[in-house]
Structure 1
Amino acid sequence: MITDFLQGVVLGFGAAVPLGPINILIMNEALKFYKNGVAVGVGAMSADTTYLLIILFGLTYYINNETVLAWLAYLGAIFLLYMAYLIYKNRDRSIKRIQTDTKGSLIKHYIKGYALTLLSPYTIIFWISVSTFSVQSRYPLVVVCGMLFAILVWITVMPYFIHKTKHLISNTLYSKVAVISALIMAFFAVSMVVHEVFKN
């Protein structure tokens, strides 16, 4: 059972750690407020749990088809571009000013994380692959628990580290980071659309 849990932990970190839109959003929000970064991460984790429940109740057929994945890709790309625009728009504002403007909006950040993850077709594909792997193990539920544990650790520890080191980031550097973050998110958005258009 411990082995199954550790396998899940490894899979969870493998899914959570790589640089992607959700991690970029968590990092940007954690620079303002630690709670904001965690709220984005919890939203993303909730979206993961949503797809896990869909798979658990045998509703995979309704989401794992070309039409649904295509719509998710296009909607996800639009949402990514919107997030990229917001980050780029605030690139020249001081971190202290942004902190004042964004304080107390945890639900909004939760929704951002939830929507960004839910609208990604890669999330569906990933969890379907994981469910296939976990079913082959002796304790599939333990594997899933290990994954969720790893994701929870990542979305709480990573933004904490970012927030605690924000004093090392000047406003000029923050502006550059914001521009790079916006470009990366825009790149992911375009990649999703290109992949969907030319996959056949």
Structure 2
Amino acid sequence: MALSFVEGFLLGLGAAVPLGPINILIMNEAVKRYKNGVLIGLGAMSADMLYLLFIVFGLISFVNQPIVLDALSIFGGSFLIYLAYLIFKNKDAKIQTPQETIKHPKNSTLYLKGFTLTLINPYTIGFWLSASGYVAAKELDTFFTIFGMLGAILLWITVMPYLVHKAKHKISQNVSYWISVISAFLLFGFGIMMFINLLAF
């Protein structure tokens, strides 16, 4: 059981830690407000849990179809490009503005951003299919492995935005501008890569 939890925890970190669209979005929001970053992360974690349920109940085969994956690539690429546009548009926003003067997005909007971006990302399906194959091959305890995975993801989406938010006072306005520009560029790149991969197959 302990081995299953540890292996699951490491798999969860493998899903959560790499720099991808979700982590870029979490960091971009956490600079403004800690809660914003956590809500993005919780939305992403909910989508991960949904795919885990699909795997546990044998429903993932309905999602892992070429037509479904192609549709997800189209929506996912478009959504990433849209998010890149929003971040680029607000690149000049002042990060040291008093909180009471800032108009923050609704909690539900932030949650849905994280949920939608993870749900329509074909790479999410690929990761969880690989993870489920790994768990089956090593004959790990399913419950403790999933518990470890979710524990690692929850730890990451609460600690990482906290560290980013605490460091915001050391970030100059010029650095904040370039963080937004680079974030927008990376998200745009991820979106374009989805379309390129779609056309390549």
TM-score range, shorter chain: over 0.9
User: Following TM superposition, by how much is the alpha carbon of 1:62 offset from its aligned partner in structure 2, in angstroms?
Assistant: 1.2
Contact 1:84 1:183 in 2 (8 A): yes
Distance in 2 between residues matched to 1:37 and 1:5, nearest whole Å: 26
After superposition, the C-alpha distances for 1:42-62 in whole angstroms (9 at most, x for unaligned) are 000000011111222211221
1:20 matched to 2:11: no
- Tell me how large the CA RMSD over aligned residues is: 1.4
> Residues 56-95 of structure 1 correspond to what in structure 2 (within 5 A)?
56-95=56-95
Native 8 Å contact 1:32 1:98 kept in 2: no
Structure 1 residue 34, shift from structure 2 partner: 0.2
Q: Which moved more, 1:94-103 or 1:8-17?
A: 94-103
Cα pair 1:134 1:141 within 8 Å, conserved: no
> Deviation at 1:178?
0.3
Distance in structure 1 (CA, Å) of the matches to 2:102 and 2:85: 17
SS at match of 1:95: coil
Structure 1 residue runs of 5 or longer lacking an equivalent are none
The farther-off stretch of 101-110 and 178-187 is 101-110
Percent identity, aligned pairs only, is 50
- 2:96, 2:169 within 8 Å by CA — same for their partners in 1? no
* 2:84/2:183 contact within 8 Å kept: yes
The aligned runs of 1:82-161 (5 Å cut-off) are 82-97=82-97, 99=99, 100-103=101-104, 105-136=106-137, 137-161=139-163
CA distance in 1, matches of 2:98, 2:132: 40
Match of 1:165 in 2: 167
Q: Secondary structure at the match of 2:127?
A: helix
Give the corresponding residue for 1:5: 5
For 1:11 and 1:183, the matched residues in 2 are separated by: 28
SS in 2 for 1:19: coil
Q: Report how far residue 196 of structure 1 moved.
A: 1.2
Q: What SS does the corresponding residue of 1:18 show, helix, strand or coil?
A: coil
Which residues of structure 2 form unaligned runs of 5+?
none
- Residue 190 (structure 1) aligned with residue 187 (structure 2): no
Check the 8 A contact 1:34/1:159 in 2, yes or no.
yes
TM-score by length of 1: 0.95
Matches within 5 A, 1:43-62: 43-62=43-62
Instruction: Assess if the C-alpha contact under 8 Å between 2:22 and 2:44 holds in 1.
Output: yes
SS of residue in 2 equivalent to 1:165: helix
For residues 157 and 43 of structure 1, what CA distance do their matches in structure 2 show? 16
